[in-house]
Amino acid sequence: MGRFDVGMVGIGYAGLPLAVALARAGNDVVGFDIDPERVGAVNDGRSPVDTVTDAEVHALDGRLSASTDPAVLADSAVIVVCAPTPVNGDTPDLEPLTRAVETVAGRLRPGQLVIVESTTHPGTTDGLLQPILERTGLRAGTDFHLAYSPERIDPGNTAYRIGNTPRVVGGLTTACAERAAEFYRQVTEVHVTRGMREAEAAKILENTYRQINIALVNEFSQLCHGMGIDVWDTVAAASTKPYGFHTFWPGAGVGGHCIPADPLYLIHHAGTLGMSFQMAETAHRVNEGMPLWVADRIAKDIEQSGVPVSEATVLLLGVTYKANTDDTRHTPAVPIARALTERGATVLCHDPYADGLSWPGGRVEAVPDLAAALAEADVSVLLQRHDRFDMDLIGRARRLFDTTGSVRTERSVLL
């Protein structure tokens, strides 16, 4: 078996972009993943996620491969763990991460560098994962290096990618941090923290900052609606201030893996310490409630047009969690669709990136012909402004409820 420079545990939205960047920098990279379809795609020169293009994978000239066999990790000088850290309800689920690290422990050898990238609460890497690795009899900081560096991937963002987004790195020891920093400097700038817990906390702070500010503007949009004020014009006006204000726009809700989930790790961990994270808790409640407020606005708009909700057809435009990506994790389209179907409405969707929308006990079918769907729907709801949308056509909908502030016509209603 050939020797690989880097073993990437998980080649999804976070792991594959880094794997590609490292291979492009001249490393031999092998991706280990339990999903055979992802592995097959990479080995065929195709990308299984929209954070990387097929062309980027195909251009690597054999420096990137993938396998479902964890034995390949034993041949890796550096092992990077990009396992998911989901939440079940409001409770963090660290099982996928611990299973991944147990897999790494089974192939751990002296001299390797193990880096954890999965988002988690401070103290996870040294408090939970280090003991798993040390069951081998090898000691972190002595026999192998251990570090934490949170992933920074923004699906759909073409301006900031791996190469121009600085990395935060924290090591168990100074030597661990230095080696991890040297590793990441192959592809981007690096900021080294005092330790791994500071790096873990930094990631959650980044996403909590966004969660809180999005909650602020979402709740503000509800107040503006109640007062008959145009929230879009108001935010645009505030945005002209060159200092002391950072622009956030309201929307149908917060989706993706990071913002709705990551603050919950610190909220939950704070609770185990007898502490609270009240601002994050409040922001989470506001953003979780936004899709239901939007669904209620849609239903009232339908009723005001003289059509009973139970007889209405609603077309959702853009069911991914953000524009220009195929990622539907935690998309606000699900609770909106569920709430409207529970009221008896027929809900359809159109999205150039998604072939439908599913949740336990329900599904919304995708309609391919946008023009025909717009003509059929009693109200069309613009949830995401994809670049691939024909906005002129959408603006000619029979009735449009726009959660993006993009379309102003006589037949449109803004959030």
Per residue in 124-162, pLDDT tens?
Answer: 999 999 999 999 999 999 999 999 999 998 888 889 999
End residue of a domain, out of 168, 194, 220: 194
Tokens of 97: 């991460």
Report residue 50's pLDDT band, with 50, 70 and 90 as the boundaries: confident
Residue 206 in domain:
no
For residue 224, indicate whether it is catalytic. Answer: no
How large is the average pLDDT for residues 166-186? Answer: 97
Residues 312 and 372 reside in one and the same domain: yes
pLDDT at 343 over 60: yes
How far is C-alpha 141 from the chain's CA centre? 32
Residues 280 and 187 reside in one and the same domain: no
Residues 160 and 236 reside in one and the same domain: no
Residue 409 in domain:
yes
Query: Who contacts 150 (Cβ-Cβ below 8 Å, separation ≥6)?
Result: 117, 119, 168, 199, 200, 202, 203
Q: Can you say whether the dihedral through the CA atoms of 409, 327, 170, 56 is positive or negative?
A: negative
Share of the chain above pLDDT 90, in %: 87
Give the range of the structural domain holding residue 27, as residue numbers without chain letter.
4-194
One DSSP character per residue, 248-267 reads ----S---SSSTTTHHHHHH
Share of the chain above pLDDT 70, in %: 99
pLDDT at 295 over 90: yes
Residues 241 and 382 reside in one and the same domain: yes
Q: Which of 82, 176, 224, 258 is catalytic?
A: 258
Give how many domains the chain has, as a whole number.
2
Give residue 4's pLDDT: 64
Residues 142 and 12 reside in one and the same domain: yes
How large is the average pLDDT for residues 223-243? Answer: 97
Residue 64 in domain:
yes
Residues 187 and 245 reside in one and the same domain: no
How large is the average pLDDT for residues 302-322? Answer: 95
Residues 253 and 372 reside in one and the same domain: yes
CATH of the domain at 392: 3.40.50.720
Of 56-65, 252-261, 402-411, the one with minimum mean pLDDT is 252-261
Per residue in 15-46, pLDDT tens?
Answer: 999 999 999 999 999 999 999 999 999 999 99
Give residue 133's pLDDT: 98
Residues 188 and 254 reside in one and the same domain: no
Residues 142 and 244 reside in one and the same domain: no
Residue 258 in domain:
yes
Q: 141 with 288: CB under 8 angstroms?
A: no
Give residue 316's pLDDT: 98
Report residue 314's pLDDT band, with 50, 70 and 90 as the boundaries: very high
Residues 244 and 181 reside in one and the same domain: no
CA distances from 101 to 37, 80, 105, 145 (A): 22, 10, 6, 14
Residue 214 in domain:
no
End residue of a domain, out of 175, 194, 213: 194
pLDDT at 216 over 60: yes
Of 84-88, 138-142, 287-291, 311-315, the one with minimum mean pLDDT is 84-88
Residue 213 in domain:
no
Residue 210 in domain:
no
Residue 81 in domain:
yes
